[in-house]
Amino acid sequence: MQDSPARALSDAQKRRVVIGVLIAMFLAALDQTIVAPALPTIGNILGDVDFLPWVVSAYLLTSTAVTPLYGKLSDMHGRRPVILAALGLFILGSIGCALAPSLPALIWARALQGAGGGGLVALAQTVIADIASPRERSKYVVYISIVWATSSVAGPAVGGFFAQHLSWTLIFWINLPIGAVALVICERILRDLPQLRRPHRLDILGSALTVLSSVALMLALTLGGQRLPWSSPPILALIGVSLVLGGGLIWHIHRVAEPLIPPALFSNRVIGMALGALCFSMAAFVGATVYLPLYFEIALGVDPTTAGAGLIVLLGGSVIGANSAGRMMPRIRRYKVMAYAGLALAIVSLGALAAFSARLNFVGMEILVFGMGVGLGPLFPTTTVCVQNAVDPRDMGIATATLAFLRSLGSAVGVAVFGAIIFAFGLAHVGESSQAAALSPEAHAVAEHAFGAAFAMMTLAVVIALAFFAAMEERPLRGPGPAPTTPEP
């Protein structure tokens, strides 16, 4: 059986297809980095500061639930029409976000935006998997790194600048021209992609159970300890509903013919462990991208533009780590070694952030944040290529979508958990004035303890990710290419 059914494409056609889907991916990548620096400004203008995590979580929640559906829809109807539909939903959601008059309206619009954005990253990776074998695929990491590097540098800086000097709504209006360009280019270029259609059934009930159980859990994390005591009946009821619906989801996916997430994927020693490692690492990574700007503004007293620029070292470091690992994977036999070293560096960096956050200045924080980014970066391409290498090519769409599903799930839960930790210290009231110069010494102490606790939990998440990754089987990569060499010890 061939690794890819699209071997008839020339190298030039492959490059055009990759460029087309990466432009669509750029929208989702930019949206993950441009929003975080504007969150304090959005909270000050729209109010309901303790619900700010939902601006991120709503997007991640809907994108999580629909990602496996996109994988199956693209298997049924072809990649091109499904990518175009995802782009259309993303643009509609962006318009709703820009016009939102209140924080609840913004959260609902972000949910619609996530329903479109959930397909962009997964489908881009699926298309690349269609046209290249696992060994060849690693060379496209360079193109993916360019997308993430551009969004990593431009997103935080532009988001902070818009929030401080112009209007926070511009972080959503900017998606319209980029989205229009992506629609035109994808509509034309993806015609080169062979249309591979396979019969599937959509698991609507599984998606509904995923959304409802996640919403109940995140509501409990948002309200508990802030607006309501943890032992109050509404919080206990929400936790109970989440557990019951989550149990129902597990029961459901073991009974239907084509569940939202095939249980067989988790029984695979490569796929199951890779999904666990990616889920917990993304919780720490996305949690850091959301709450580091808040830390910079509240605890260190920098302006929104500087806080946004402060994320560049995290995101840029992750691109450096991912690009280095992607280039080395096809050349060495023990390709897990770079991700091992990276996870160890991330654990040390996050541990230092947790221990010394109250005594570090902005430069010291940036050094540790860069170490975290470089450390987590190698895990992302390694797990993606390993999952695609371990799955049968006919299941590439659903396997890649499940990978994106666990990335989004870890991100959404991580944002909610870390937000619950931070705001449990009373930071919602401190955040009403985001400039550290306006805070009392007591308020400074609250902010430092809150973020120190969050950094400690991020460290624990990466430790768990390392445990999953260590249990992942290391299989030779399929596909043509030079024989890999084992690096010198």
C-alpha span between 200 and 17 (Å, rounded): 25
Bridge partners, residue 485, by sequence: 332
Cα–Cα distance measured from residue 455 to residue 18, given in angstroms and rounded to the nearest whole number: 36
**pLDDT tens, N- to C-terminus, the chain (489 residues):** 333 444 456 666 677 777 777 787 787 777 766 777 777 777 777 766 666 767 777 787 777 767 777 777 776 766 777 878 888 888 899 899 888 888 888 888 888 888 888 778 777 777 776 676 655 655 666 666 667 667 766 777 777 778 777 888 888 888 888 888 877 777 776 666 655 555 566 677 877 787 787 777 767 766 666 667 777 888 888 889 888 988 888 888 778 777 766 777 666 777 778 888 888 888 888 888 778 877 887 777 777 677 767 777 887 788 788 777 767 766 667 777 888 888 999 999 989 988 887 777 878 888 888 998 888 888 887 887 777 777 766 666 667 667 777 777 777 778 777 877 777 776 654 444 444 444 556 666 777 778 888 889 899 999 999 998 888 877 766 554 444 443 333
Burial 325-359 (b: 16+ CB within 10 A, else e): bbbbbbeeeebbbbbbebbebbbbbbbbbbeebee
Q: What are phi and psi of 332, to 5 degrees?
A: -125, 150
pTM over 0.75: no
Cα 412 to Cα 203, 279, 287, 342, 476, distances in angstroms: 21, 10, 9, 23, 33
Q: Tokens 């209007």 sit at which residue?
A: 167
Specify whether the CB–CB gap between 83 and 190 falls below 8 A. yes
Host H or E run for residue 452: helix 441-471
List 332's β-bridge partners, or say none: 485
* 402 close to 384: Cβ distance less than 8 angstroms: no
Q: How far apart are CA 164 and CA 170, in angstroms?
A: 11
Q: What is the CATH number of domain 11-190+260-471?
A: 1.20.1250.20
Q: How long a stretch of residues is the chain?
A: 489
DSSP per residue, 277-325: HHHHHHHHHHHHHHHHHHHHHHTS---HHHHHHHTHHHHHHHHHHHHHH
Count CB atoms within 10 A of the CB of residue 135: 21
- The domain locations on the chain are 11-190+260-471, 204-259
Which pair of structure tokens corresponds to residue 420?
């619950």
Of 25, 36, 22, the closest CA to residue 285 belongs to: 36
